[in-house]
Amino acid sequence: MRTALLPLPLALLLPLSGCGDKPSEAWTGYAEAELVYIAPPVAGRLATLAVRSGEAVAAGQALFELDATPELAADAEALARARSAQAQAQNADKGRRAPELAVTGAQLDQARAAERLASLDLTRQRELLAQGFVAPARADDAATALAQARARVAELQAALQVGRLPAREDERTAARALAAAAQSGREQTAWRVEQKRQSAPMAARVQDVFLRPGEWVGAGQPVLALLPPANRKARFYVPQAAVGGLRLDAPVQLRCDGCGAAIPARISFIANGPEYTPPVIYSNQQRDKLVFLVEARPVKAEDAERLHPGQPLDVTP
């Protein structure tokens, strides 16, 4: 009744006198998730899906598999090419086969026998020439035959020596390079086959599944999304009057409807610049127009599981 008797300007100012009071240290926000999208780097038809939305998976657990029939056929072809190139490389490092060398050795024995025969014939022709029984041409022919026999022996000796040698160094280098290229091609094919099977990179919960078996999956197209506990966080807005007292890694308490006890968390991000209060904020008591975005992550993984993306939160220091 006394207020009603005051002058009108003073009566209007009294209800507004509380607007300048220091706000309580309690902020509102919401839970947010940083999803991990699992996508194969190669394309193919989705053959099997081993998980479903909301299921918890362990690190290394199989998630899905694409049809690898074309890659398996290509791997078989690459394996055959690699074996062929490797055999050629090994063959280039060897000499001729033993039976081939035996043939050359037998020819060398024949040439040596012919050489001895030609040498004896030359000796006889020279003796007959000295006695005047043959013409000098006969001795010349015998000398020529001996020279030919000796040349044949030298030829076969060289052929036998060459037969024991491997291929030329350039040919051997080329053969080894082809073998290495074939092996690399097989490794690429094996990698593609391996990428058709995707496993969970960490322990997480399947947040969503985008495709079903039988559908075509493009290279890099996500098949499902995982939500690890470490990727759950709280986002809340702190008035500019209170942000100066916050520090990274500072402890805060998160509370939500139905969450039970408060969730210990630590501040992981403080915005460098302010922004105006978002139009949708889970509080009717927010009075400051200028706020700073702050993020906090739960300290324990089991506590993080209690946060659900989009869930309203109350945050206290």
**Mean pLDDT per 10-residue segment, the chain (317 residues):** 38 38 69 95 95 94 93 82 77 68 82 89 86 84 89 84 67 77 82 92 94 95 95 91 90 90 93 70 54 91 89 92
pLDDT score for 108 = 82
Domain extents in the chain: 15-33+228-316, 37-67+192-226, 82-186
Whether this prediction's pTM lies above 0.85 is answered by: no
* 240 sits in which H/E element: helix 240-243
* CA-CA-CA-CA torsion sign (36, 205, 262, 32): positive
pLDDT score for 276 = 66
**Would you identify the CATH topology of the domain 37-67+192-226?**
OB fold (Dihydrolipoamide Acetyltransferase, E2P) (2.40.50)
Please name the residues in contact with 73: beta carbons below 8 A apart, sequence gap of 6 or more: none
pLDDT score for 44 = 94
Cβ–Cβ under 8 Å, residues 104 and 159: yes
pLDDT score for 277 = 61
Dist CA 44 CA 74 (whole Å): 14
Q: Helix-strand-coil percent breakdown of the chain, rounded to 5?
A: 45, 25, 30
In which residue are the tokens 């006890």 written? Answer: 261
What's the farthest any 2 CA atoms get from each other in the chain?
Answer: 172
* CATH top class, domain 15-33+228-316: mainly beta
Question: How many Å is the Cα radius of gyration of the chain?
Answer: 46
3-state class (DSSP) for residue 288: coil
pLDDT score for 297 = 93
In which residue are the tokens 């490389």 written? Answer: 89
Main-chain dihedrals φ then ψ at residue 30, nearest 5 degrees: -155, 160
Structure tokens that stand for 55 in this block: 């299921």
pLDDT score for 22 = 39
